[in-house]
C-alpha cells in the first residue's frame, strides 16, 4: 500500500520538485480513517501542506477510490539525533580530520527557533540531513544572530550522522591565511588539492571578510566550482546578503545566489525570552521573570550581547549571594529603558498624573492620600530604574532624602518580587505612558 500511495503522488509531481521536497517524505501510518505521512522537518511539512495538499488528496482518492483525509507529521532533528547517536555513533572516526574544532554548544538542540530564524534553521536541518541537496546555502544576517551557531550545528550533525563525509568548517580569515602560508611555502598546490578534492562539505563562515581581497576571491571561486560540480555541499555565512557584498566578484555573488539564500532577521521579544531562559537553565541558575523580560527588551538586536547580559547577572547573583532585582539589573547592565534625549524627567509627572490622577504639586507635597503616595513611590521607582537616573537626581526631582528614595526603591522591588500584580501593572502603565509621550514628542 505504501508503494502504491507514494507512486500515485510521485506520478503527479515533476521530478525536480519530487527530489527537492519529497526526499524525506514517507508513509508513517495507514488506518481506515486516514493516512499519516512523515517528513524531515516542520518547514517541509508546512510547505507540502500548502503547495501539494490538493495533489496528495487527489492521489489518495485514486488509490482508495474515495476521499481519504491525511495528515503530515515531522520528526524533529532532536529526536533523530538522539536516536542515531545511541544506535550507531562510531567510536573511531575513520575519515581524516581537516576541521576547525566546533563549539560543542552550537547544536540544533540548543538553537531556539522563532519566526526570524525559522527558514534559516529549517534549511540548515535539511542540509545536515541531506548534504548536497540544496546547493549552495547562503546564511546571512546581522552580527550575533546565530549564523555561526547554525552552520556549526550542520557540522556537528553531519559529523555524527554521515561518518563517511569529510566536513570542513572554517572562517574566511583562516581560509585566506592558509592560502597565503601555503603559497609562501611553495605549497599552493596542496592547498588547492585539499579544499577542492578532499572536502565533501565546506562550511565557510564570515565570507564578508574577503571583501576587497581579489586574489582569495578567485581562489574561492575555483574551489566553489570544483566542489559544486562534484555535487559537494557548500554553506556560506555572511553578515550581509550576497547582493550587498560590495567589492566582491560578480561571478562569485551570482554563485552564492544560485541555491538558497536564508536570511536571519531580528529576533522578536518571545524568542529572546526563550533564549535567555534556555541559557539560565543551562547555567543551572535562576533569574526572576521580570529580569528576563528586561534582558529580552534591551538585547534583542544581538544574541551574543543578550548572552553576555545573562552571564553577567548570574555571576553577580552568585557572587553577592542575593537575588538580583530589576533596579540592580539596570545598574549592572548599564542600561536605561528610555533614551535620555526625550526629557523624560519632566514628563514623568505628566505620566504619573495621567495614570494616578494626581498633580505634580501633590506628589511633591507631603500629602499621604493613597493615590498620591502610590504615584510618588512608583514615580521614584520608575525614575531610578527605568530612566536610570542617579539616586541624587531622583531625590532632587521628588524633593525627598536619599535614604527615602533608596528605601522606596527597595520596597517596590520587594513588592514586585512577592508577585504584587497591582504594583507591576502601575509601573507598566507609567512606563507605557512615558513611551507614548516620548513618541509623540519625537514625531
Which residues of this protein are in contact with ligand ADP, per CB under 6 A? 106, 110-112, 117, 141, 143-149, 275, 303-304, 307
Q: Residue 235: CB partners within 8 Å, gap ≥ 6?
A: 124, 127, 136, 137, 138, 139, 151, 154, 201, 202, 203, 204
Q: Tell me whether residue 141 or residue 326 sits nearer to ligand ADP (CB atom).
A: 141
Q: Tell me whether residue 118 or residue 373 sits nearer to ligand ADP (CB atom).
A: 118
Closest CA to 71 of 29, 118, 30, 35: 35
The binder of 304, among Mg ion, ligand ADP, none, by C-beta within 5 to 8 A per type, is ligand ADP
Binding segment for Mg ion (CB under 5 A), chosen from 43-51, 142-150, 253-261, 288-296, is 142-150
How do 35-39 and 70-74 pair as beta strands? parallel
Query: Would you say 236 and 204 are in contact if contact means Cβ atoms under 8 Å apart?
Result: yes
Closest CA to 227 of 250, 207, 203: 203
Please state the closest distance from residue 166 (CB atom) to ligand ADP, in A.
23
Cis geometry, peptide bond prior to residue 136 (ω within 30 degrees of 0) = yes
Q: Tell me whether residue 111 or residue 195 sits nearer to ligand ADP (CB atom).
A: 111
Q: Which residue has the cell 534549511?
A: 123
Binding segment for Mg ion (CB under 5 A), chosen from 143-151, 355-363, 387-395, 430-438, is 143-151
Q: Tell me whether residue 22 or residue 111 sits nearer to ligand ADP (CB atom).
A: 111
Segments in 340-401 forming alpha helices (H) = 344-356, 360-364, 370-381, 391-398
C-alpha cell at 333: 547592565
Please state the closest distance from residue 311 (CB atom) to ligand ADP, in A.
10
The binder of 112, among ligand ADP, Mg ion, none, by C-beta within 5 to 8 A per type, is ligand ADP
Q: Tell me whether residue 313 or residue 382 sits nearer to ligand ADP (CB atom).
A: 313
Please state the closest distance from residue 337 (CB atom) to ligand ADP, in A.
23
Closest CA to 236 of 224, 251, 219, 244: 224
Please state the closest distance from residue 146 (CB atom) to ligand ADP, in A.
3
What is the distance between the alpha carbons of residues 11 and 6, in angstroms, rounded to a whole number? 9
Q: Tell me whether residue 274 or residue 331 sits nearer to ligand ADP (CB atom).
A: 274
Query: Would you say 63 and 30 are in contact if contact means Cβ atoms under 8 Å apart?
Result: no
Q: Tell me whether residue 209 or residue 398 sits nearer to Mg ion (CB atom).
A: 209
Please state the closest distance from residue 304 (CB atom) to Mg ion, in A.
9
Please state the closest distance from residue 417 (CB atom) to ligand ADP, in A.
27
Task: Tell me how far the alpha carbon of residue 159 is from its chain's centroid.
Answer: 23
Q: In the bound complex, which residue of the shown chain has the CB atom lying closest to Mg ion?
A: 148
Q: Tell me whether residue 148 or residue 327 sits nearer to Mg ion (CB atom).
A: 148
The binder of 307, among ligand ADP, Mg ion, none, by C-beta within 5 to 8 A per type, is ligand ADP
Please state the closest distance from residue 228 (CB atom) to ligand ADP, in A.
24
Please count the residues of this chain forming the interface with Mg ion, following the rule CB under 5 A. Answer: 1
DSSP for residue 41: -
Helix (H, G, I), strand (E, B) or coil at 292: helix
The binder of 117, among ligand ADP, Mg ion, none, by C-beta within 5 to 8 A per type, is ligand ADP
Helix (H, G, I), strand (E, B) or coil at 261: strand
Q: Tell me whether residue 152 or residue 374 sits nearer to Mg ion (CB atom).
A: 152
Binding segment for Mg ion (CB under 5 A), chosen from 146-154, 196-204, 260-268, 350-358, is 146-154
Q: Kindly tell me the burial class for residue 29, based on how many C-beta atoms sit within 10 Å of its own C-beta (0-12, 13-18, 19 or more).
A: exposed
Q: What is the dihedral of CA 397, 408, 354, 442, to 10 degrees?
A: 60
Task: Tell me how far the alpha carbon of residue 426 is from its chain's centroid.
Answer: 32
Please state the closest distance from residue 211 (CB atom) to ligand ADP, in A.
16
What is the distance between the alpha carbons of residues 176 and 248, in angstroms, rounded to a whole number? 15
Q: What CA–CA distances, in Å, run from 22 to 7, 16, 134, 219, 321?
A: 12, 10, 13, 35, 55
Does the protein bind Mg ion through residue 374 (CB under 5 A)? Answer: no
The binder of 149, among ligand ADP, Mg ion, none, by C-beta within 5 to 8 A per type, is ligand ADP
Query: Would you say 81 and 157 are in contact if contact means Cβ atoms under 8 Å apart?
Result: yes
Please state the closest distance from residue 175 (CB atom) to ligand ADP, in A.
16
Helix (H, G, I), strand (E, B) or coil at 235: strand
Q: Tell me whether residue 145 or residue 261 sits nearer to ligand ADP (CB atom).
A: 145
Please state the closest distance from residue 246 (CB atom) to Mg ion, in A.
20
Q: For Mg ion, what does the binding mask look like between residues 147 and 186, x meaning CB under 5 A?
A: -x--------------------------------------
Q: In the bound complex, which residue of the shown chain has the CB atom lying closest to ligand ADP?
A: 146
Residues interacting with Mg ion, by CB under 5 A?
Answer: 148
Amino acid at each position: 500500500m505504501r508503494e502504491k500511495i507514494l507512486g500515485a503522488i510521485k506520478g503527479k509531481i515533476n521530478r525536480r520538485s519530487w527530489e527537492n521536497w519529497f526526499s524525506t517524505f514517507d508513509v508513517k501510518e495507514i488506518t481506515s480513517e486516514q493516512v499519516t505521512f512523515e517528513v524531515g522537518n516542520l518547514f517541509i511539512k508546512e510547505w507540502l501542506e500548502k503547495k501539494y495538499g490538493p495533489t496528495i488528496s487527489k492521489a489518495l482518492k485514486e488509490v482508495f477510490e474515495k476521499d481519504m483525509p491525511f495528515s503530515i507529521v515531522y520528526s524533529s532533528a532532536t529526536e533523530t539525533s538522539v536516536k542515531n547517536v545511541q544506535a550507531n555513533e562510531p567510536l573511531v572516526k575513520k575519515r581524516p580530520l581537516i576541521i576547525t574544532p566546533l563549539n560543542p554548544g552550537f547544536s540544533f538542540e540548543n538553537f531556539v527557533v522563532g519566526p526570524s530564524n525559522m527558514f534559516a534553521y529549517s534549511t540548515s536541518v535539511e542540509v545536515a540531513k541531506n548534504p548536497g541537496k540544496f546547493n549552495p546555502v547562503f546564511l546571512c544576517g546581522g552580527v550575533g544572530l546565530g549564523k555561526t551557531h547554525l552552520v556549526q550545528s550542520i557540522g556537528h550533525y553531519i559529523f555524527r550522522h554521515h561518518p563517511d563525509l569529510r566536513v570542513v568548517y572554517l572562517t574566511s580569515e583562516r581560509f585566506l591565511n592558509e592560502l597565503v602560508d601555503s603559497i609562501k611555502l611553495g605549497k599552493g598546490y596542496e592547498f588547492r588539492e585539499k579544499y577542492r578534492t578532499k572536502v565533501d562539505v565546506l562550511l565557510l563562515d564570515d565570507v564578508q571578510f574577503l571583501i576587497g581581497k581579489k586574489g582569495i576571491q578567485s581562489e574561492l571561486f575555483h574551489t566553489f566550482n570544483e566542489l559544486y560540480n562534484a555535487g559537494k555541499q557548500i554553506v556560506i555565512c555572511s553578515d550581509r546578503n550576497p547582493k550587498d557584498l560590495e567589492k566582491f566578484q560578480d561571478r562569485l555573488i551570482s554563485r552564492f545566489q544560485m541555491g538558497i539564500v536564508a536570511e536571519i532577521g531580528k529576533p522578536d521579544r518571545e524568542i529572546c525570552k526563550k533564549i535567555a531562559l534556555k541559557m539560565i537553565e543551562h547555567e543551572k541558575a535562576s533569574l526572576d521573570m521580570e529580569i528576563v523580560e528586561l534582558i529580552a527588551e534591551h538585547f534583542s538586536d544581538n544574541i551574543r550581547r543578550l548572552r553576555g547580559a545573562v552571564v553577567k547577572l548570574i555571576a553577580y547573583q552568585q557572587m553577592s549571594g542575593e537575588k538580583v532585582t530589576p533596579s540592580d539589573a539596570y545598574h549592572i547592565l548599564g542600561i536605561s529603558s528610555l533614551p535620555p534625549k526625550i526629557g523624560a524627567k519632566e514628563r514623568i509627572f505628566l505620566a504619573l498624573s495621567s495614570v494616578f490622577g494626581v498633580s505634580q504639586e501633590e506628589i511633591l507635597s507631603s500629602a499621604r492620600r493613597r493615590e498620591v503616595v502610590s504615584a510618588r513611590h512608583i514615580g521614584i521607582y520608575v525614575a531610578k530604574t527605568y530612566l536610570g537616573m542617579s539616586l541624587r537626581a531622583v531625590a532632587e526631582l521628588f524633593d525627598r532624602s536619599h535614604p527615602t528614595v533608596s528605601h522606596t526603591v527597595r520596597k517596590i522591588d520587594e513588592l514586585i518580587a512577592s508577585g504584587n500584580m497591582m504594583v507591576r501593572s502601575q509601573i507598566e502603565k507609567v512606563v507605557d505612558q512615558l513611551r507614548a509621550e516620548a513618541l509623540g514628542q519625537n514625531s
